[in-house]
Amino acid sequence: MIDLQEVILEKDHLIPFLRKLHKEARLIAPVTNEYGDTLFTEIEDIDKQTIDLKRQPQSSLKDFFLPQQETLAHYTNDDNGYVFTPPSPPQETIYFGVRSCDLTALLYMDLIFSKPSKDASYYARRNSSLIITLGCNDPFDNCFCEATNSGPYLEYGYGLQFVDLGKSYYVSAGRRRGADLLKKWSYFFREVTKEDQDRRYQLFLEARGRFSRNIQVSHACRKLQNEDVDETIWEKLAGRCYDCGGCAYVCPTCTCFSVDDLAIDETSGIRVRSWDACTSSGFTRMAGNHNPTDRSRHALKRRFLHKLKYDFQEHGKASCTGCGRCVDICFGGVDITTFIKLFTRETS
Ligand code: SF4
Ligand code: SF4
């Protein structure tokens, strides 16, 4: 009897397996488009679109679970007052090829959107999702998930976790819905052998040894609990930040948003949620154009202290998953790793 918590999927069987899943749910996976951008994309036809598991998607799952702009409700207003109607429930969706850092970010978003009560839109999407991750055997140049305990492989949180063994995938079931899939489509899989287990472990060790960046995330988090950051560090960072918001928008754990009611006519409208960024000067600007924070000194203070100090206090770990996207995108070179390096050097 084959153990359906851990199985092997030969690579030849991957597309037929995904084809079966796609018949029952929307399928989202990384695809490289004609401009060379790798993005999580809805797969319409699995035989015509090529899933790209070699490159890191530039976008994260945040784009789906907290869309850049979404309608939270339609409203009408008549003599009886306001009536809010939420959008239709989301489709069942399977996300395939998700990296460990991005699932860790989603687990963090689960916490954020569960307080003070569960966010209806977020949890409607989350409860109709299944995440299939891909362990990272070859970390990308700017990644540091090992320093944030977010990879290269995961121990929980996924529906299924794939690890590339070369000619096959080592597939582990995490949550019940993942285990159900293995049971339902068991004829695609074969039993794990001792050789497969050894190979997986070997690949894990090799992946851990491949990180080229040594970022002292835990050290920075602990230091921030007891020590203030020297003002010259904030000034140095602010002087090179151009207020583009890129770091917050690509970050899978940046969840600031604003909500606006937009009138359609005199008696109806929509309530819209849109991304915001605490790095932006407009974030603290008040009516009358007064801004109580001095952006020329503190542009990035909120962002870095939130991730490394306050979330560490509240959740016991930083809300940076080491995905490296802010490193890739910041043309001022003042991403979170720059701050960590400056701060740990100052205070160690
Ligand atoms: S830190 Fe870099 S990416 Fe972020 S807003 Fe400033 S310039 Fe843009
Ligand atoms: S702060 Fe940067 S490295 Fe950390 S999760 Fe956000 S984008 Fe990724």
Per-residue pLDDT tens digits for 228-262: 999 999 999 999 999 899 999 999 999 999 999 99
Ligand with minimal distance to 299 CA: 1
Matching residue, tokens 């790209």: 52
Q: By C-alpha distance, which of 18, 133, 77, 67 is closest to 264?
A: 77
- 3-class DSSP state for residue 22? helix
* Domains of the chain, residue spans: 6-59+91-209, 217-251+281-347
Minimal-distance CA residue to ligand 1 atom 4: 247
246 lines ligand 2 (CB under 6 A): no
Render pLDDT for 156-201 as a digit per residue (tens, 0 to 9). Answer: 999 999 999 999 999 999 999 999 999 999 999 999 999 999 999 9
- Please give all residues whose beta carbon lies within 6 A of any atom in ligand 1, as ranges: 241-247, 279, 300, 329-330, 332, 334
Separation of CA 167 and ligand 2 centre (Å): 32
What pLDDT score was predicted for residue 346? 54
Separation of CA 316 and ligand 2 centre (Å): 17
What pLDDT score was predicted for residue 2? 66
What pLDDT score was predicted for residue 192? 97
Distance, CA of 117 to chain centre: 21
CA distance 41 to 32: 9
- 3-class DSSP state for residue 127? helix
Average pLDDT over the chain, rounded to an integer? 94
Q: Which ligand 1 atom lies nearest to the CA of residue 329?
A: 3
Render pLDDT for 274-325 as a digit per residue (tens, 0 to 9). Answer: 999 988 888 888 888 888 888 777 889 999 999 999 999 999 999 999 999 9
Render pLDDT for 6-37 as a digit per residue (tens, 0 to 9). Answer: 999 999 999 999 999 999 999 999 999 999 99
